[in-house]
């Protein structure tokens, strides 16, 4: 028997994890998505989808790590396959001070030399003298994973509605994970949701085979390259305070593709599959929040941390809805 009916608005990574966790907990789930096709407008489809609690702590408060670690465990315990090959952080020789600075601001890494870099990533042999290796991190390919989650949720008996722009039907609880679409409603709750533009590229390259995300530090244009299935690489991402979700600028394109070329010159021969831009829904501390307003629970503001934090955010909401467990201060 169902514990109750829950409406979930938004089928990005936050909404999918909510639907998955709550249907597993015994609720009847109705998932509503504005776009006609899955993931058309979700920021998540453009995500780097790195599960990197330690690298990401460089730009977050230190207390971010234990929460991110808890969320990592939920990923590991889930039926969804993630790659756990760690992260490699490199810097061009002339910017090697960036590597020292990054090491100082993060934990759970070790400095490795060119021979070990070559062992981990044979194709990067001779490219970098030193790197930081974050062994406990992982990554995934967002689009196939989201499709798998959607199928799983459907199999569990959830109702899924695409192209939805009508009133929501009655439910015991509504969970709103609609990102920037919720900005006006959050404004009324004194939460200022702002868009942060990100630009990314997808290229195809057979010559280089990377097993893990490579982050390249640079004073102006830090970037990362994430291996996706079928010889694809995702190259990301700019971070610009802007509500512009329009096409990628030439400058950003040059910088992203140029950075990949710096990681390995073979990227010069890669084929550009996609250049894309979107906005990340972000709150003033750039950390995700769970905001309860009567019958509606807003899960929003994931900024760069949607994939990393989605499982924990779902767990927190499930504990609240099911057992009345208080939402931890950190997420309020």
Partner 1 sequence: MTIETPDKQQSSRFQLYDTNLHSRLILGSALYPSPDSLSGAVKASGAEIVTISLRRETAGRSAAKDFWQHIQKLGVKLLPNTAGCRTAKEAITTAQMARELFGTSWVKLEVIANDDTLQPDLFGLVEATKELSEQGFQVFPYTTEDLGAAEKLLTAGAEVLMPWGAPIGTGRGLMNPYALKTMRSYFPDTALIVDAGIGAPSHAAQAMEMGYDAILLNTAVAKAGDPVAMARAFKLAVEAGHLAFQALMIEERDMASPSTPVAGTPFFDLEKLD
List the one residue from 2, 76, 284, 325 that touches partner 1 (CB under 8 A).
284
In the complex, the smallest distance separating the C-beta of residue 186 from partner 1, rounded to whole angstroms, is 12
Nearest to 264 by CA among 132, 139, 118, 134: 118
Only one of the segments 59-67, 122-130, 202-210, 225-233 lies at the binding site for partner 1 (rule: CB under 8 A); that segment is 59-67
Backbone angles phi, psi at 256, to 5 degrees: -65, -50
Considering CB under 8 A, how many residues would be counted as binding partner 1? 22
The reply to whether 63 sits near partner 1 by the rule CB under 8 A is: no
List the one residue from 206, 244, 274, 326 that touches partner 1 (CB under 8 A).
244
Q: Which of 48, 195 has the CB closer to partner 1?
A: 195
Q: Which of 18, 57 has the CB closer to partner 1?
A: 57
The reply to whether 59 sits near partner 1 by the rule CB under 8 A is: yes
The reply to whether 262 sits near partner 1 by the rule CB under 8 A is: no
List the one residue from 3, 110, 125, 251 that touches partner 1 (CB under 8 A).
251
The reply to whether 192 sits near partner 1 by the rule CB under 8 A is: yes
Q: How far is CA 261 from the centre of its chain?
A: 24
Between CA 262 and CA 251 the distance in angstroms is 16
Residues 72-101 vs partner 1: string with x where CB under 8 A?
A: -----------------------------x
The reply to whether 247 sits near partner 1 by the rule CB under 8 A is: no
Please give the residues from 214 up to 233 whose contact with partner 1 meets the rule CB under 8 A: 219
Only one of the segments 66-74, 149-157, 193-201, 315-323 lies at the binding site for partner 1 (rule: CB under 8 A); that segment is 193-201
Q: How far is CA 275 from CA 150, 231, 251, in A?
A: 25, 17, 12
Only one of the segments 3-11, 20-28, 113-121, 237-245 lies at the binding site for partner 1 (rule: CB under 8 A); that segment is 237-245
List the one residue from 10, 86, 142, 195 that touches partner 1 (CB under 8 A).
195
Q: Which residues bind partner 1 (CB under 8 A)?
A: 59-61, 101, 104-105, 192, 194-195, 197, 219, 240-244, 249, 251, 284-287
């Amino acid at each position: 028997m169902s514990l109750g009916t829950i409406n979930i608005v938004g089928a990005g990574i936050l909404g999918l994890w909510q639907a998955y966790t709550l249907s597993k907990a015994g609720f009847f789930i109705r998932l509503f998505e504005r776009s006609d096709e899955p993931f058309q407008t979700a920021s998540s489809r453009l995500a780097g989808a790195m599960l990197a609690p330690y690298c990401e702590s460089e730009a977050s408060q230190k207390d971010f790590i234990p929460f991110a670690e808890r969320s990592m465990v939920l990923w590991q315990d889930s039926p969804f396959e993630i790659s756990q090959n760690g992260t490699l952080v490199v810097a061009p020789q002339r910017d090697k001070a960036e590597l020292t600075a990054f090491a100082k601001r993060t934990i759970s890494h070790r400095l490795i030399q060119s021979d070990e870099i070559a062992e981990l990533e044979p194709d990067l042999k001779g490219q970098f003298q030193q790197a930081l290796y974050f062994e406990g991190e992982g990554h995934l390919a967002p689009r196939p994973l989201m499709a798998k989650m959607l199928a799983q949720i459907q199999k569990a008996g959830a109702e899924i509605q695409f192209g939805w722009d009508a009133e929501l039907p009655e439910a015991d609880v509504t969970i709103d994970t609609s990102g920037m679409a919720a900005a006006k409603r959050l404004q009324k709750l004194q939460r200022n949701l702002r868009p942060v533009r990100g630009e990314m590229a997808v290229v195809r390259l057979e010559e280089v085979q990377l097993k893990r995300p490579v982050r390249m530090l640079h004073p102006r244009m830090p970037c990362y390259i994430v291996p996706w299935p079928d010889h694809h690489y995702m190259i990301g991402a700019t971070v610009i305070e802007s509500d512009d979700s329009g096409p990628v600028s030439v400058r950003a394109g040059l910088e992203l593709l140029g950075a990949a070329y710096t990681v390995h010159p073979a990227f010069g021969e890669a084929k550009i599959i996609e250049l894309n831009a979107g906005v990340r829904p972000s709150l003033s501390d750039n950390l995700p929040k769970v905001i309860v307003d009567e019958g509606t629970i807003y899960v929003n503001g994931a900024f760069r941390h949607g994939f990393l934090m989605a499982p924990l955010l779902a767990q927190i909401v499930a504990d609240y809805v099911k057992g009345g467990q208080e939402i931890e201060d950190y997420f309020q």
